[in-house]
């Protein structure tokens, strides 16, 4: 995936008192640097220079580079959680709600390829995101204000959709968490293929998206 992003070189040190948006500035600068120069090659000092603060000042907001990446992942998962929460409030049947959730997931990834690449494809997923599945088994224990919570909330909501499908009388071929993983893996593969190979002569995206969702759902749900 080509990631053409411009970042400024070392900026002028910002005066004290200009920090009301400092955290957002740090995240934006870090995201651009991670995409352009790579996560491993980007240092805290480099991020601080671009933002226009000292490295010690940056540490007031984030303890290390992984904490910055975790915050960026939280932003991505936060958007997904918001979309899933909206679907939960609808009166759609559980199966249709799952299909709509799958479509929203794919559309989000394709509409936000840079954020999706950083979160799922860069190979630098923070440890807390990897541990989210275990936390998602007990959603009542998730603190939404805790760094890394958004990923656990997203997976918990996805598993909740499968539980609702079972309650509606449609059994699953697999345990709930396995079914959720399988559907996610299928949709993630579609998004990754379209993001990483934009020049490939794919057929119509709408057909690919609808087809993948249908295959994924039919593969885990015993339909009437």
Tens digit of pLDDT for each residue in 126-161? 877 877 767 677 777 788 888 888 888 999 999 999
Q: How many CB atoms lie within 10 A of CB 11?
A: 14
Single pTM value for the model: 0.83
User: 72: buried, middle or exposed (CB in 10 Å: 19+, 13-18, 0-12)?
Assistant: buried
CATH number, domain 67-220, options 3.40.50.11810, 1.10.357.10, 1.10.3470.10, 3.40.50.300: 1.10.357.10
**Sequence spans of domains, the chain:** 1-62, 67-220
Question: CB-based contacts of 146: which residues, under 8 Å, 6+ apart?
Answer: none
Is 35:118 a contact under the CB 8 Å cutoff?
yes
Instruction: Could you please state the CATH topology (level 3) that the domain comprising 1-62 is classified under.
Output: Arc Repressor Mutant, subunit A (1.10.10)
pLDDT at 117 over 50: yes
> How do residues 54-86 score in pLDDT, each as one tens digit?
999 999 999 999 999 999 999 999 999 999 999
What pLDDT score was predicted for residue 127? 79
The reply to whether domains 1-62 and 67-220 share a CATH topology is: no
Over residues 92-96, mean pLDDT? 95
For 32-88, the DSSP string reads HHHHHH-TTT--HHHHHHHHTS-HHHHTTT-SSHHHHHHHHHHHHHHHHHHHHHHHH
User: How far is 3 from 183, CA to CA, in rounded Å?
Assistant: 28
* Percent of the chain whose predicted confidence (pLDDT) is above 90: 69
């Amino acid at each position: 995936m080509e990631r053409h992003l411009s970042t400024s070189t070392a900026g002028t040190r910002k005066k004290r008192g200009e920090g009301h948006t400092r955290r957002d500035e740090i995240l934006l600068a870090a995201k651009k640097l991670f995409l352009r120069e790579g996560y491993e090659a980007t240092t805290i000092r480099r991020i601080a220079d671009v933002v226009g603060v000292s490295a010690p000042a940056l540490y007031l907001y984030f303890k290390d580079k992984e904490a910055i990446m975790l915050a960026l992942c939280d932003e991505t998962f936060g958007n997904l959680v918001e979309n899933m929460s909206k679907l939960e409030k609808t009166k759609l049947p559980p199966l249709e709600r799952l299909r709509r959730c799958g479509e929203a997931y794919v559309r989000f990834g394709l509409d936000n390829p840079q954020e999706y690449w950083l979160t799922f494809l860069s190979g630098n997923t923070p440890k807390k995101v990897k541990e989210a599945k275990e936390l998602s088994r007990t959603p009542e224990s998730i603190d939404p204000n805790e760094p890394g919570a958004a990923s656990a909330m997203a997976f918990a909501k996805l598993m909740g959709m499968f539980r609702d499908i079972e309650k509606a009388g449609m059994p699953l071929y697999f345990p709930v968490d396995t079914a959720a993983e399988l559907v996610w893996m299928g949709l993630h593969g579609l998004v990754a293929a379209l993001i990483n190979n934009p020049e490939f002569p794919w057929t119509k995206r709408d057909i690919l998206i609808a087809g993948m969702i249908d295959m994924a759902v039919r593969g885990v749900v015993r339909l009437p």
